[in-house]
Amino acid sequence: MSVSYSQIPNENIHSRSAKCRTEMYMDDKPFVQIRYPSGELMCQRWFQGTFWHRENGPAEIVFSKSGEIIRERWMQFGVYHRENGPAMIRRDENGSILYQRFLIKGKLCFWKNLMYGVGNDLLTEFWIPVL
């Protein structure tokens, strides 16, 4: 199994993952956990078969060094999917949402971008439908 770290810039990354097997599934426990060199949890990933998959939660959660959730990916059988909220959520290091992507069965429905000002005050919210 190969794990790409290109989405997390400027971090010295230390990984610890389970052995690669045909069936990568562990009863709603993350199959892969990645930690920063200092020991803090950086990432958790859930699989079913060889696909990123989780029924009632995000298939990937990425944490900042301070423990804030900075990214969530909701996927079922390797496809972005969430019916009751965004399937992709990206936050800054303080936990403020930067953008959300709403996808159902891999199809992008719309996205939401947020712009913050000084003091983390919300300045503008953009909802962009996909036609």
CATH fold label, 14-129: Outer Surface Protein A; domain 3 (3.90.930)
Angle, CA of 29, 34 and 39, to the nearest 5° = 110
pTM check: above 0.85: no
Looking at residues 10-32, what average pLDDT do you find?
51
pLDDT of residue 24: 54
- Mean pLDDT in the chain? 76
68 has a pLDDT exceeding 90: yes
> pLDDT band for position 86 (50/70/90)?
very high
Task: Report the sign of the C-alpha dihedral through residues 29, 73, 87, 109, in that order.
Answer: negative
